[in-house]
Amino acid sequence: MRELLSKILLLNALVLGFICNIEAQLVTIETLLDTNTVELGRNAELKYKIVKRDNDFISLPTFTDTLFDGIELVAPVKIDSSFDKSSEKETLEQVLRITSYETGMRYIPAQNFILRTDFGTDTLVSMSSYLNIVGVAIDTTNAIRDISDVEWVLPTLRDFIPLVLVLLILGIIAFLIYYFWPGRHNKRIEQQIVKKADPPHIVALRELDKLKAQKLWQQNQLKEYYSRLTSIIRTYIEKQFGFPAMEQTTREILASVRDRELTEVLEIKQLEKLLNLADLVKFAKGQTLPEENIEHLESTYEFVKESHKKVVRENLKHVSEAIDNKLANSYALAKKIRNVSNLNDLEIINRLDSGYKLIQFNYTVSVIVMTFKLNSPIYLLAPDDNARKKGLLFTAISVVAGWWGIPWGPVRTLQSIRTNLKGGKKVEIQ
């Protein structure tokens, strides 16, 4: 009995193997190369063609950029399929575009294809093949050129998904910071203390004090004394009046003073006398009396003080004229400023000169088919005032009353919101 059962099982196994072998023979695999020889860097097409029954399933091999030793994949793998109704067979084609950057015979090994049918699973193997890579003949008579044109692979929508996600996240973060940061946090203004340089007359007087304390002429150092004295006066004139007195001769300095019409500000005769005497001492080894040395030092003190007073008077005159002109041109505008009822025009001008600014906002109002883009009153804002916060009221008016107008409501509403979120429009006084 046991022997009979063993024979039956053996017979069933033989029948099943025979059937699977028949099934496997119903599937064919071809390995096709469009050429067996290709130039270095050029492409060849490797194709695996599979013919199978419609209800059979075959698992195709997967490939990376480097297919085999020395052979590269230059384009995504293409898979095409077709069905023949007469024979009830399906044809699959797995197409690979390949190249190589090394000369020589390249071996393309056989590939495994897993076949699954109603009778079981089997492995089918393709034919191996060879691809001969030959070098490019170099023509030294022609200019150097590329072996082959660059072949571009069009990106797919999936390639842009990471970039879109990153931009979306950054946009949301920027939106939250832009709209909510100013209103939820108190601004801390750090004032930087800028050390201003001393005015020219202060520097000159300080240097004269140092020169006086050194007592150079008392030590018979007349040349050093007058060199320092003229250097102080030249530096003062250069810094105060803006021409290169340190690089000019005495005659050129006096000519520059006359050309710039500074004779009313500078005592030209006193300056000429001092510079000529200093030149005599420095270059001709002239001698002076102690009384002259003291006199010229004191006259230099007087020269700096008096010229500075005249400069101040001239500046005050120009500033007064400028303020008068500003007040004349801005009187009507100043009356329109919303938050300065307790300030006069001169106080408004002074605040503007110290960094304040005049700001105006936009708001949009729609009435059915008519849309109006209007200007808010003018506001005087300090440098550390939050202009966006001040414009929130007019932004809210635009959002409520402006967007629904046809056809310009949405457009002008967005324009008003954009202007207000930028801090409004700066109004200039002409």
Q: Are residues 245 and 301 in the same domain?
A: yes
Quickly list H helices, 220-364.
222-241, 250-259, 268-284, 290-334, 345-353
- How many Å apart are CA 403 and CA 400, to the nearest integer? 7
pLDDT value at position 226? 78
Number of domains in the chain: 3
Dihedral of CA atoms 250, 255, 258, 261 in degrees, nearest 10, equals -100
pLDDT value at position 341? 65
Q: Are residues 232 and 283 in the same domain?
A: yes
Q: What is the pTM of this model?
A: 0.34
Q: Are residues 280 and 360 in the same domain?
A: no
On whether residue 282 sits in a domain, the answer given is yes
On whether residue 166 sits in a domain, the answer given is no
pLDDT value at position 225? 80
On whether residue 323 sits in a domain, the answer given is no
pLDDT value at position 20? 45
Those residues of the chain that have pLDDT short of 70 are: 1-25, 138-140, 145-148, 173-196, 260-267, 284, 286, 315-336, 338-341, 345-346, 368, 429-430
- How many Å apart are CA 58 and CA 122, to the nearest integer? 10
Dihedral of CA atoms 237, 241, 245, 251 in degrees, nearest 10, equals -90
On whether residue 66 sits in a domain, the answer given is yes
On whether residue 398 sits in a domain, the answer given is yes
pLDDT value at position 23? 46
On whether residue 53 sits in a domain, the answer given is yes
On whether residue 365 sits in a domain, the answer given is yes
Take residue 252 and report the two structure tokens written for it: 């050129």
Range of the domain at 406: 345-427
- How many Å apart are CA 166 and CA 169, to the nearest integer? 5
Of 93, 117, 134, which marks where a domain is finished?
134
Q: Are residues 22 and 127 in the same domain?
A: yes
Q: Are residues 300 and 385 in the same domain?
A: no
Take residue 299 and report the two structure tokens written for it: 């006259």
pLDDT value at position 55? 82
